Amino acid sequence: MPKNWKTRLIHTDVRAPEGFRSLATPVFRGSTVLFPNAAAVTDQWNQYDAGYTYGLYGTPTVLELAGRICELEHGYRTLLTPGGQAAITLVNLAFLRAGDHVLLPESVYAPSRHFASRVLKRFGVEVAFYRPTIGQAGHASDSKKNGSDAGLSGGGETIASLFRPNTRLIWCESPGSITMEVQDVPAIVAAAHRAGVLVALDNTWAAGIYFDALAHGVDITMQALTKYVGGHSDLLLGSITVRDEDAYQRLGSTQQLAGCAVSPDDCSLAIRGMKTLAVRLRHIEDAALEISNWLAQRPEIELVLHPALASCPGHSVWKRDFSGSSGVFSIIFRPQFSKKQVQAFVDALELFEIGYSWAGVTSLAVSYDFGSNAARPYGHRIVRLSIGLEDVEDLKADLDQAFCRTMAQS
């Protein structure tokens, strides 16, 4: 029927010719999904079964990224979230309820700790923390048999001894945030599954690649795609990958009601980032190893906490379970260095910028102060580094001049 020009602005008869092909994934934006007829209208979230129903549940761009992540992590399905912390939150909301008990490592990512302590507790979930180097139920000799570090049983305390009748979920983060402890995840998984407890893992450091979480028995693995997958410090995304249909249904139905949608534009950037992930990780791994070994020889440094170095807690577990290492590690200054000096060292760096969200092309440095925390005995002397794509010799020269300037001020 004839249409006024105002209507044609919305309902056009123009059709672009078909057949365009490109190496780039199209960016499909949209909130409203059109149905072929009235009977087809539905609000089901699982678009693999129901077809596309609402932009909140993902456009083709979103589902392509989810599929690519799932393929890399050898999972059943992957869900995407607006950030890594949103992924952690969604897992907790999907698998915990009032009266349940959850365990987290003492070295866990700080926002994860705060969500558990400040939000989950408020909703009646019991929260407890465990030493990240604790091993499987049994004796320390069992840890030696499976190739992990002696003492992973935690000085007589076992992970199984921390389970309660209402324990539903245990979180792992390996290596741990800042202090870099590598966890004996297979041992924890074995003990957890004997007790009917699900295991979730923050696998961001390994980019979902260097540690095959699901193959090691983990039930739910997540990562901040903000980091290595995005790779350029310009997007916020998270992913959750599961091994079975039941976990996928629980997460998907929870995400539908929580309403945490992701941007197709961010997903397109993450897909682009994945195409260079291998070459970026290769350079970053080599550079971080060279710099960490160089730092280990510095007179100012007491300890380098890099999982690929024997000085890092759980190194032999890393050697057994991981296929590579990424670019984030920490250094511990010797006891004579004051907090002011450590901060002056960070301030003196010129190529290393100061910032939290690591894994981009730019190297970063952040200093921390754990005070008298017995679980993290480094006090104010710890600095976390993230190695980017700069020339290695330039980065070492930058660290060297910062050491020299700090010593000159002492």
Domain boundaries, the chain: 38-275, 277-409
Q: For the chain, what is the mean pLDDT?
A: 93
Span 353-382, pLDDT tens digits: 999 999 999 999 999 999 888 778 899 999
pLDDT digits 0-9 by tens, 238-269: 999 999 999 999 999 999 999 999 999 999 99
pLDDT more than 90, % of the chain: 91
pTM of the model: 0.93
Name the residue with higher pLDDT: 1 or 60.
Answer: 60
For domain 38-275, the CATH class is alpha beta
Name residue 276's amino acid.
T
pLDDT band at 141 (very low <50, low <70, confident <90, very high): very low
pLDDT mean over 384-398:
98
Least confident of 43-47, 156-160, 329-333: 156-160
The pLDDT of residue 148 is above 50: no
**Is CATH 3.40.190.290 correct for 277-409?**
no
**What is residue 408's predicted lDDT score, i.e. its pLDDT?**
81
